[in-house]
């Protein structure tokens, strides 16, 4: 089965997909190949549509996967079937799931200030501050190099972003002293701004900060609601609350589509608070 996985990863590389995508896509294909080898006892070419459906049921039950993740798994199976097996894919045999969507939690400005100011670790404080002050993704923070900090023009160069395009994010004047303090205190890194803790010249892992965010929520006695992405959402929401137009927010966040930026209309508390309900305009000649 290793040959199938190698071929799969080679095709991902040929498509020019990112290392993150390769790692993500390999997760459930590896589980699928393991299922074929140890449970179904078949080669991928010989699997029927019913057996594919059985695998989806099996993997969902075993790993308690959400409907959104099941759709990702189906997408990976489609890629594997088309590009590795060179077989026809019938979307009517393995339909994708409908799933509920939820608005993300966005901390208030006061909550952001309380959280950042009380972080005891300088590296963690610097990373969270960058996510909020510039609207960066955690992957973008981890990939930052010292040369990406443009102090002359007060901006941050973001490369290898999610939509495969470079952009510049604003560098807050209040963040620069914190960055300089971190750099001097934490070993004066020369390449990656936040290198791997092992000392190798590689960026720090994205999961490093997640566990520390949850640990700090516990220290503060807060409900566990924050993620790394919460601070990026807070950046977009607070910009919109302060009157920044959506096109500017879209540019700063590096969104490919304005539709992604429109969520901040819903997340900003004041966005619709000024709208009167038609009930409020009715004549006062009725009894409740």
Q: Where are the domains of the chain?
A: 2-83, 109-267
Q: What per-residue confidence (pLDDT) applies to 197?
A: 78
Which of 6-15, 19-28, 121-130 is the most confident on average?
A: 121-130
Q: What is the pTM of this model?
A: 0.77
255 classed as catalytic = yes
132, 182, 192, 264: which is the annotated catalytic residue? Answer: 264
Q: Which residue has the higher pLDDT, 270 or 224?
A: 224
Q: Give backbone dihedrals phi and psi of 157, rounded to 5 degrees, phi first.
A: -85, 125
Read off the pLDDT of residues 32-58 as tens digits, 9 standing for 90 and up: 999 999 999 999 999 999 999 999 999
164 classed as catalytic = no
Q: Which residue has the higher pLDDT, 281 or 188?
A: 188
pLDDT band at 287 (very low <50, low <70, confident <90, very high): low
232, 233, 238, 250: which is the annotated catalytic residue? Answer: 232
Q: What per-residue confidence (pLDDT) applies to 281?
A: 72
264 classed as catalytic = yes
Please give the share of the chain, as a percent, with pLDDT higher than 90: 68
Q: Which residue has the higher pLDDT, 42 or 284?
A: 42
53 classed as catalytic = no
Q: What per-residue confidence (pLDDT) applies to 134?
A: 96
157, 162, 196, 214: which is the annotated catalytic residue? Answer: 162
Distance CA 231, CA 239 (A): 12
Please say if the pLDDT value at position 80 is more than 80.
yes
**Could you tell me the fold of the domain covering 2-83?**
DNA polymerase; domain 1 (1.10.150)
Please say if the pLDDT value at position 218 is more than 90.
yes
162 classed as catalytic = yes
- For residues 69-81, give the mean pLDDT: 93
- For residues 189-200, give the mean pLDDT: 86
Q: Which of 32-41, 159-168, 225-234, 251-260 has the lowest mean pLDDT?
A: 159-168
Please say if the pLDDT value at position 70 is more than 90.
yes
Q: What per-residue confidence (pLDDT) applies to 286?
A: 60
- For residues 95-123, give the mean pLDDT: 91
Pick the CATH number of 109-267 from 3.60.15.10, 1.10.443.10, 3.90.850.10, 3.40.50.970: 1.10.443.10
Q: Name the packing angle between helices 122-134 and 228-241 (round to 10°).
A: 40
Residue 220 contacts residue 114 (beta carbons within 8 Å): yes
Residues 162-179, buried b or exposed e (16+ Cβ, 10 A)? eeeeebbbebbeebeebb
Evaluate whether 2-83 and 109-267 have a shared fold: no
125, 137, 216, 238: which is the annotated catalytic residue? Answer: 137
Q: Which residue has the higher pLDDT, 214 or 163?
A: 214
- For residues 25-34, give the mean pLDDT: 90
155 classed as catalytic = no
Q: What per-residue confidence (pLDDT) applies to 1?
A: 84
């Amino acid at each position: 089965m290793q040959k199938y996985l190698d071929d799969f990863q080679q095709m991902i590389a040929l498509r020019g997909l990112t290392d993150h995508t390769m790692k993500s896509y390999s997760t459930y294909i590896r589980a699928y190949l393991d299922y074929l080898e140890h449970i179904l006892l078949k080669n991928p070419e010989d699997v029927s549509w019913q057996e594919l459906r059985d695998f989806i049921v099996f993997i969902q039950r075993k790993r308690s996967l959400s409907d959104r993740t099941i759709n990702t798994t189906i997408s990976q199976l489609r890629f594997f079937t088309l590009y590795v097996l060179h077989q026809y894919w019938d979307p009517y045999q393995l339909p994708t799931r409908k799933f509920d969507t939820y608005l993300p939690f966005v901390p208030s400005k006061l909550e952001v200030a309380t959280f950042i100011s009380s972080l005891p670790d300088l590296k963690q404080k610097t990373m969270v501050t960058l996510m909020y002050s510039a609207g960066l993704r955690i992957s973008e923070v981890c990939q930052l190099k010292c040369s990406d900090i443009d102090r002359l023009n007060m901006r941050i160069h973001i490369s290898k972003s999610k939509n495969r395009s470079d952009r510049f994010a604003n560098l807050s004047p209040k963040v620069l002293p914190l960055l300089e303090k971190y750099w001097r205190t934490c070993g004066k890194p020369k390449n990656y701004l936040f290198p791997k803790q092992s000392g190798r010249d590689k960026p720090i892992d994205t999961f490093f900060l997640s566990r520390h965010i949850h640990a700090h929520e516990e220290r503060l006695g807060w409900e566990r609601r924050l993620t790394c992405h919460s601070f990026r959402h807070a950046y977009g929401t607070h910009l919109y609350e302060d009157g920044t137009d959506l096109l500017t927010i879209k540019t700063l966040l590096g969104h490919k589509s304005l539709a992604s930026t429109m969520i901040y209309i819903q997340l900003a508390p004041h966005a619709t608070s000024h709208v009167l309900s038609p009930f409020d305009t009715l004549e006062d000649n009725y009894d409740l």
